[in-house]
Each structure stands twice: as C-alpha cells, then as structure tokens.
C-alpha cells in the first residue's frame, strides 16, 4: 500500500471522487500544510493556520497507478485557481499534492510540466508531506451520507459524472 495527500478545494468533493476508484482502499479527509498541530475545521476555515482541506489516499499500486490518480486529480478540479475552487475561497481550498515517495514527486512534477507545456496554468503546490491531521468525524463520507444536500447536488455530482464519463475504466463496481 502507498499513500498520498491531495488538496483540490473542498475535501467533501475530493473524498467523493477518489473513494470510488479501483485500488483506492481508504480516503480520509483532513488538514495539511499549515503550522498548527491538530487543527479544527473552524480554525482551518479562518485561513490563519496555513492548513488546507485535503484527503489522504491509501492505494494499491498493483490495481491503480499513481499516474492514474494524478489524471483524475487534475481532471476533477481547476488547478489554475489560486486559493479557491469555484465558490470555495481561501488558502484552505488551494490545489496541492503532498507526496510520500520520490517516485510520486517525479511523476507529479512531470505531469505539472506537461500541463504547463500544453498551455495550462497550474498553481498546484508540490511538496513532501510533513504532517496530516484527520478531520472531524462529521466530515468523513460526507457525500455518501448527505448526497441530497444542495452543495452535493450542484458541486459534487457533476464531478462524479465527469469521473464516470472520462475514467469509467478506473471506477470500482458499485
């Protein structure tokens, strides 16, 4: 098993996207990138902790490649937006990849360079993972438990539809 931390805006969205992929064994929402130990959601939302809403993904590289995880990551959020994703604004909603291996760093860096060479603006932060702090329990499996909420319907459902359309071959069976 390997792990990586992605930030692509709201962790409810990124959790919903990645927990449906083959080979992904766990998706855990949390906080990373800041200077406060064990922050709360309310503290992170102020923007002063330096943390972002992130997900920690555990995956089996024999079932899904890191390259495929990167493709899904960049396809399901806007890596050109600095400190925001759609309506979610602030540094806690920044695009980031916190790698746990040198191979992940190499592959992520190459993908960012390729996107930029193709004319895409990419502001994704790429750093080694320093610390990950789990989010409060009420954030876990948010979409699965609250799929009828307006935020889920208007923001998360289109991401899941795009995932299915573009990456149906990576989808775990329902």
Cα separations (Å) of 124 from 79, 99, 174?
A: 6, 12, 31
Residue of 4, 5, 10, 152 marked active site: 10
Asked if 13 is an active-site residue, the reply is no
Extract the runs of DSSP E, i.e. beta strands, from the chain. 2-8, 24-32, 52-59, 84-85, 88-89, 95-99, 125-128, 132-134
- DSSP letter for 147, please: T
- pLDDT at residue number 86: 85
Nearby residues of 28 by Cβ (< 8 Å), 6 or more positions away: 55, 56, 57, 58, 134, 135, 140
Q: Which of 103, 95, 105 is nearest to 128 (CA)?
A: 105
3-state secondary structure of 140: coil
Domain edges within the chain: 2-170
Each residue of 111-169: pLDDT tens digit? 999 999 999 999 999 999 999 999 999 999 999 999 999 999 999 999 999 999 999 99
Each residue of 56-78: pLDDT tens digit? 999 999 999 999 999 999 999 99
Statement: residue 174 has pLDDT above 60: no
What is the CATH architecture of 2-170? 2-Layer Sandwich (3.30)
């Amino acid at each position: 098993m390997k792990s990586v931390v992605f930030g692509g805006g709201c962790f409810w969205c990124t959790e919903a996207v990645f927990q449906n992929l083959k080979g992904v064994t766990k998706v855990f929402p949390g906080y990373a990138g800041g200077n406060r130990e064990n922050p709360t959601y309310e503290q992170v939302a102020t923007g002063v902790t330096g943390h972002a809403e992130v997900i920690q993904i555990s995956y089996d590289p024999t079932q899904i490649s890191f390259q495929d995880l990167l493709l899904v990551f960049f396809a399901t959020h806007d890596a050109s937006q600095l400190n925001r994703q759609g309506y979610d604004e602030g540094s806690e909603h920044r695009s980031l990849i916190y790698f746990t291996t040198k191979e992940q760093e190499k592959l992520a860096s190459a993908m960012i360079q390729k996107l930029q060479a193709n004319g895409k603006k990419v502001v994704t932060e790429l750093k080694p993972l320093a610390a990950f702090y789990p989010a409060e329990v009420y954030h876990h499996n948010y979409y699965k438990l609250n799929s009828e909420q307006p935020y889920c319907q208007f923001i998360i459902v289109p991401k899941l539809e795009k995932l299915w359309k573009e990456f149906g071959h990576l989808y775990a069976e329902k």
